Chain A
């Protein structure tokens, strides 16, 4: 039994000796602490969403349970557990029960590889990495796991035996596939710059080179849009579009099983924010100083970097909520057209340019941390930012309502309408 456990641990981290008991102990502590904090954050994100929604709409939001509503998530949980659970009579019961867990777990697992602080020195043990599992293939792991979450949603839609739920589930899967590609492509640029898929290495690269959001703004933009789409948040919450699909994939769910889907969504928000921070905002790095990235490692450094990391995550969670209460929902064909016709080509062009630049600068013999190297990236970035956010942003519509009609057919219809009172409704 223990041998199997050691073997598993060695798979997780081949650098460690399999008999390293302290590693197991600290792994356990980190996993339990991270899980607890993560669940707490997910619960309080629900409260944050409702309060921020209230404030944005000039309301107050839930402020009754406890001080300023701080016990509201607990009250919600109790309420949901007490509610009656209804199973759809002709649905697939096994999958129906399994789906909420399938939606929730991947969001949580993704978080295991994200580094959240500088290494902590522990007397007698040495350095303990502030990441639950420091996988050598960390980033690939997040890509692989994060797209698994859509299985829960699709299966929820399928097993409900409800046409709206099924449509919601199908939309979720189509949306996930479309945006997963753009998301993967946008991160290729980061990996080109970092030269490593380990997330700790990505953080170290940003500490030495400057944050990727400054060097690769467009990649961040694509990643953020795709991240919004992957978490099924407004403006891309097509799977649960109330106005057309009632509640979409969770229309048939009730009680705590229903509650698992919103919780999964908030878990995904936190994970997505953490990924954005790790890939583009320097992870736990404190900007404008090298003090936090170099030994000697101290407890103060760990606490400060962790604090900054939490602050960054909170900001991005807030940004997710803020966007949700600002933007209207995309139409479904607009969503698809944005994913395939805008983000994907943009990401492909960007990869080509970034790869050429990396290749050219390396061939020119410039050091990666030198000012010339960073300046070249900054210049390239500036060109793209002006081009995309200023020039291309004006005068274009993603899949307008008339795009499915031929231009001359529209003209013919309009002239016919102008001739006839019946067509314009004036004759009625």
Chain B
């Protein structure tokens, strides 16, 4: 007998078998006929996901359809998973723009630092979870993909409203 073994005495006086079984059967029968079921019939019904849900990214655009990003380089710097690849470019008017902006969603840990650090409010995490692809390389989202996403974006944690109300 191991030194730490504790002998637990059962409440023998309260023990019963047949009656306890019938009580248990009554309880399970109550659940059996209970019309309230917790199952969500997934493809038809979906859960409402929270406003701070952090899913796959989305790049917001200006009115003329260009990405809001100014290629400042803050998001690749802050990214702890090192999943953002940014190559800046300069257009004819001298404005910086992202020539390449790839996010590897497999590397991403969905911490949301990129959204938090972005001075232009360009890159956002999305309130979205259906991300299946047929090919692994499709999980590296390029700028076209990021700007064409339409799902709602994550509302980051606000210290003034810690519960998100």
Contacts and interface: CB of A to CB of B under 8 A. Distances in A.
A352 to B, nearest CB: 22
Interface in B24-80: 24-25, 27-29, 31-34, 36-39, 41
A interface: dominant SS: loop
Interface stretch (A12-20, A156-164, A167-175, A320-328): A320-328
24 contacts: A54-B39, A55-B33, A55-B37, A58-B36, A58-B37, A322-B28, A322-B29, A323-B25, A326-B27, A389-B18, A393-B17, A393-B19, A394-B16, A394-B19, A395-B15, A395-B16, A396-B15, A397-B12, A397-B15, A398-B17, A401-B10, A413-B1, A413-B7, A414-B7
Interface residues of B, number: 31
Contacts of B131: none
Contacts, number: 75
Contact of A417 (B6, B9, B18, B37): B6
Given A394-B15, A397-B15, A423-B3, A56 B37 contact: no
Interface string A404-421: 010000100110010000
B15 to A, nearest CB: 5
Interface of B: 1, 3-4, 6-10, 12-19, 21, 24-25, 27-29, 31-34, 36-39, 41
B12 to A, nearest CB: 6
Contacts of B27: 326
B4 A425 contact: yes
A389 B31 contact: no
Contacts of A394: 13, 15-16, 19
In the A-B complex, the 5 residue pairs with the smallest Cβ-Cβ separation, listed nearest first, are A60-B39, A326-B28, A326-B24, A55-B32, A56-B28
Given A60-B41, A323-B25, 12 more contacts: A60-B37, A60-B39, A323-B21, A326-B21, A393-B17, A394-B19, A395-B16, A400-B10, A400-B12, A402-B8, A410-B7, A425-B4
A423 B36 CA distance: 48
Contacts of A54: 39
- Tier of interface size on chain A: 20 to 34
A133 B36 CA distance: 47
Interface of A: 52, 54-60, 322-323, 325-327, 388-389, 393-398, 400-402, 405, 410, 413-414, 417, 423, 425
B12 A56 contact: no
A405 B37 CA distance: 46
Contacts of A323: 21, 25
A396 B12 contact: yes
Contacts of A423: 3-4
A339 to B, nearest CB: 14
Contacts of A326: 21, 24-25, 27-28
A337 to B, nearest CB: 12
A181 B15 CA distance: 26
A407 to B, nearest CB: 11
Contacts of B10: 397, 400-401
B37 to A, nearest CB: 5
B70 to A, nearest CB: 49
A400 B37 CA distance: 37
B28 A325 contact: yes
Contacts of A402: 7-9
Contact of B37 (A59, A325, A413): A59
A327 B21 contact: yes
Contacts of A405: 7
A388 to B, nearest CB: 8
A58 B29 CA distance: 11
A58 B21 contact: no
Given A60-B37, A396-B12, A55 B17 contact: no
B31 to A, nearest CB: 5
Contacts of B33: 55
A47 to B, nearest CB: 16
Nearest to A414: B7
A58 B38 contact: yes
